[in-house]
């Protein structure tokens, strides 16, 4: 994509801040983050956040149905259910039934069993994460350890590490964007806006978070000149986060809610003829908009 001109950093900052202000506290209904907000207890919120973030791919309506079904499975107090009795893994045809796209019911049940063991062993997901976190750099290495332990705690079946399991419990250092893993961390670490701010004892801070990046966020970040990478991968995530950290050193993921609303709610689309651009706070700093105006 051709870059028409360099965008002054202060202008980019002011436009992103304006966009953030527009969306702050707005449209929780458009995001799976609405599910942990249903619970009062922090332990229940943590488990609901992990489940909701893990299934946050595909159409919003489908995500909501899938998360709803898992939380119904766990009852009114998800953390208490998992800590006290765990879940059984369905076998045979019942286990192979799809829960959410390529994630089967058995896949999710095995992950819930790993969460159950974690609550009984460490007491919370926060303590498991902190156990593998040296407090240095970004969160990729700590996430690798976090998901490795969860994989080790999976009930053993003939299925092994299915596609669904690998998707629910990824290895962020392998180079993918790991959007859902970074989304979960954003929710439980940040205390601004709708984010939950649950983790107070872990060493991870908002300054160390990486931007959760899906295809929509990646496209918009390219429009803003924050990355030239054509794939939404770990390198792109780190590049964009570094650019945002220059604007907000202590909280580079602060703009994720507002940027992702543009994609989720189709406020920013690929077609340059759409009227959305004229009402967008980012029009002055959007490379696509500037190219169109030439």
**Owning domain of residue 191:** 31-199
Q: State pLDDT tens for residues 10-34.
A: 999 999 999 999 999 999 999 999 9
Phi, psi (5° rounding) for residue 211? Answer: -70, 125
Q: What is the pTM of this model?
A: 0.93
Give the DSSP per-residue string, 71-102. Answer: HHHH-S-HHHHHHHT--PPP-HHHHHSEEETT
The answer to whether residues 46 and 192 belong to one domain is yes
Instruction: Kindly state the average pLDDT of the residues 82-106.
Output: 75
Measure Cα distances from 221 to 131, 256, 261 in Å.
33, 11, 13
Q: State pLDDT tens for residues 232-252.
A: 999 999 999 999 999 999 999
The answer to whether residues 221 and 283 belong to one domain is yes
Residue 50 maps to a domain: yes
Per-residue pLDDT for 294 more than 60?
no
- Helix/strand/coil (H/E/C) assignment for every residue in 149-161: HHHHCCCCCCCCC
The answer to whether residues 193 and 115 belong to one domain is yes
Residue 204 maps to a domain: no
Query: Residue 98's beta-bridge partner residues?
Result: 104
Dist. CA 153–CA 145, nearest whole Å: 12
Instruction: Kindly state the average pLDDT of the residues 265-288.
Output: 82
Instruction: Kindly state the average pLDDT of the residues 92-102.
Output: 68
If one counts the domains in the chain, the total is 2
Lowest mean pLDDT, pick from 40-49, 64-73, 92-101:
92-101
pLDDT at 1: 46
DSSP state of 156: P
pLDDT at 96: 60
Higher pLDDT, 94 or 287: 287
Residue 134 maps to a domain: yes
pLDDT at 279: 84
The answer to whether residues 193 and 64 belong to one domain is yes
Residue 206 maps to a domain: no
Instruction: Kindly state the average pLDDT of the residues 83-95.
Output: 68
Domain boundary (170, 199, 228) is at 199
The answer to whether residues 138 and 159 belong to one domain is yes
């Amino acid at each position: 994509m051709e870059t028409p001109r360099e965008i002054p950093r202060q202008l980019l900052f002011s436009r992103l801040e304006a966009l953030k202000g527009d969306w702050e506290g707005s449209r929780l209904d458009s995001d799976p983050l609405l599910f942990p907000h249903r619970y009062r207890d922090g332990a229940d919120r943590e488990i609901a956040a992990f489940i909701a973030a893990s299934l946050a791919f595909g159409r919003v309506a489908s995500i909501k149905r899938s998360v709803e079904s898992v939380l119904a499975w766990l009852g009114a107090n998800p953390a208490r259910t998992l800590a006290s009795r765990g879940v059984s893994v369905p076998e045979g045809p019942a286990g192979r039934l799809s829960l959410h796209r390529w994630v089967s019911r058995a896949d999710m049940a095995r992950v819930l069993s790993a969460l159950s063991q974690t609550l009984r062993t460490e007491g919370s997901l926060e303590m498991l994460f902190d156990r593998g976190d040296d407090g240095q750099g970004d969160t990729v290495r700590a996430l690798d350890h976090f998901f490795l332990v969860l994989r080790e705690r999976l009930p053993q079946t003939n299925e092994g590490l299915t596609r669904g399991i690998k998707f629910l419990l990824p290895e962020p250092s392998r180079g993918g964007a790991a959007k859902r893993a970074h989304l979960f961390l954003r929710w439980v670490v940040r205390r601004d806006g709708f984010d939950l701010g649950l983790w107070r004892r872990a060493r991870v801070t908002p300054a160390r978070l990486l931007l959760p990046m899906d295809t929509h966020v990646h496209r918009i970040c390219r429009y803003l000149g924050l990355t030239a990478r054509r794939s939404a991968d770990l390198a792109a995530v780190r590049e964009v986060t570094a650019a945002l950290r220059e604007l907000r050193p202590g909280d580079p993921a602060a703009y994720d809610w507002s940027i992702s609303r543009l994609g989720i709610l189709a406020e920013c689309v690929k077609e340059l003829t759409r009227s959305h651009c004229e009402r967008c706070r980012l029009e002055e700093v959007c490379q696509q908009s500037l190219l169109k105006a030439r």
